[in-house]
Structures are given as C-alpha cells and as structure tokens.
Homo-oligomer: A and B are copies of this chain.
Amino acid sequence: MIKIGILGYGNLGRGVEAAVKKNDDMELVAVYTRRDPGSMKINTEGVPVKSVAELDTGKEDIDVLVICGGSATDLPEMTPKYAAMYNVIDSFDTHARIPEHFANVDAAAKKAGKIGIISCGWDPGMFSISRLYATAVLPDGKDYTFWGKGVSQGHSDAVRRIEGVLDCRQYTIPVPQALDKVRSGADPTLTTREKHTRECFVVAEDGADLARIENEIKTMPNYFADYDTTVHFISAEEMKQNHSGLPHGGSVIYSGSTSEGNKHVIEYSLKLDSNPEFTGSVLIACARAAQRLNSEGASGAKTIFDLPPAYLSAKSGEELRAHLL
C-alpha cells in the first residue's frame, strides 16, 4: 500500500481524498492542516487530521505528500520545503514561474534523495502531455487549447471583489465556430476574443447599481476586457440550485502535416463534472509514479513529461501489454 498524506483540505484536498478511495493500492494516512486540527472533519473515517507542525518534523510515515495549496504563495514555499523531507507532488499552475519552481524543488529533492513532481493536473498536466505527444509526432503543425465550458475560480473571485457583488460564478466557454475551424485543420489565427466567451452569474446586494457592476465586469483588464462577456443577475437561491458544482473541461487540438496534401487532426478533450476531483485523480496517479521512481533510487524534480505512462498505473507491465496495448 502506498501511504498518502494530504497537505491542505480545501476543494483540491477533498478531490485527492476522493481519488485515494478509488485506488486499491493506496491509503490515506493523514490530512495536515495549518488550521486547528480539532476543528476539522474529513470524509474518510478513521484517518487523523494533524497539524503541519507534525509534518515539519520530517518524521511522518508517508510515501508521498500531496500538497494542495495555491500557486500564488503556498506552493512556491511549501513544495521545496517538503521535498527536503518527503516525496511530494503539487499542481503548480503559474506557467511563467515553472522554471524557477522546478529548480527550487529539484535542488531540495536531490539533496534529500526524494522525488518532487510539480504541475500535475489537467492543465498543466494531461493537456500538456497531449500537446507534447502531438508536437513530437507531427513537428510540422500547430496546437490550440480551448478551455470550458467550465467554472473559472480566478474569474469568479475577481468579480466577487467588485463593490455590491455578493457572489459570482464565471463560466469560460469556447466559441463553437472557432472549434469547428480548428477541427477542420484550417490552422486559423484566432484572437483571444475569437476563441472564448465569458458568462457571469452574479448575486448582487439589494439596491446595488447593476449597470455599474456589469460595466465594471466587462471592462476589467486581463480578466474580461478582451472577451465578449455576458452578465446575468440571479438570486442567491438560483446560484445555490444551478451553479454549486465546479465542472470544467476543454480540448487540445493539434493539426499537422506529414507531406504535401496529407493533414492530420489530433484532439484530446475532457468533460469534467468536478474539476478538483479530476485534478486530484491525476495527482494520485502521478503520486504512484513518484513512489516508484524513488523506490528505484531516482531523485529530483520531475514533471508529467518525465514519467513513463506505465508508472502511473497500478497494473504490471504484463497486464498493461496484454489488456491496454
């Protein structure tokens, strides 16, 4: 049994917990928190909630620590810190800072003889390997990534910070005509606005100036100004009833050529009922690879690009070749 520890018990931590239950070769041994452990109840009977202070001793009996923190401030600090003590894995997704994060985790993990896998999930993660395989097989081609339809938590949070807004759920939606054009192999050049639209469901305070809120959303730089955005004002009840899930998904589409007149279109797509549970499932499959690599004597930072696909599976090489090849 592979002993899994979870650090941080938000949406993603609970997603990892759900994933562990689906894998017979894994057991959750503890959830670690910066909050008061006594105040928390988790979804797995009989598993202790512990303080990070215990984790910090470096003596916890875990094979892989799954670090479920935010990319902005938590992971850049936590992942290198714990890679000096345990095999670790995270879902770091600030693309521009990946080289720096990789270097920090690599140094700590190598010194400790541990494995640190960074940036696992679906993007970065499954979408990244889809881009990589497509590019490697068809070097003369072009890749497109579409996100959605799904909830962007970053955009939802941005709207919630507007005065008069009580709650928001923001959906990112690929433009169907853009998808069709890319799938046809036409290699179009698409602007940000042509690729995705944004739809916001907003609960406003009683008497708030709705026109002002709508305008502030639609003109918000980086988040909305470059997109066609639709805003719907709804009640708190409707929000709870129709928008409480965290679905997401998207497509990586690649079109490439092998000779004059011969084009090929590769598409990898996801339709996810729960973004955090799927992300947690990818983390757990890659945690298996971390444990296996480390048991073979490997150390240092890795990404999903470095993991042989077979290492993500609990099945033996013989079983995989007989049933999945």
Contact = CB atoms under 8 A, between A and B. Distances in A.
A124 interface: yes
Give the interface residue-count category, chain A.
35 or more
Interface string A1-40: 0000000000000010011011110000000000000000
Contact of A271 (B138, B139, B264, B281): B264
A22 B270 contact: no
Give how many copies assemble into the complex. 2
A15 to B, nearest CB: 7
Interface of A: 15, 18-19, 21-24, 95, 98-99, 102, 119, 124, 126, 128-133, 135-140, 183, 185, 258-259, 261-274, 277-278, 280-282, 285, 288, 303-310, 312-315, 317-318, 320-322, 324-325
19 contacts: A99-B322, A130-B268, A132-B320, A137-B278, A137-B285, A185-B271, A258-B277, A261-B273, A264-B271, A264-B272, A264-B273, A264-B274, A264-B278, A266-B268, A267-B269, A267-B270, A303-B325, A305-B320, A306-B317
Contacts of A138: 22, 278, 281
A15 B325 contact: no
Given A132-B309, A140-B22, A274-B259, A325 B264 contact: no
B278 A303 contact: no
Contacts of A266: 126, 268-270
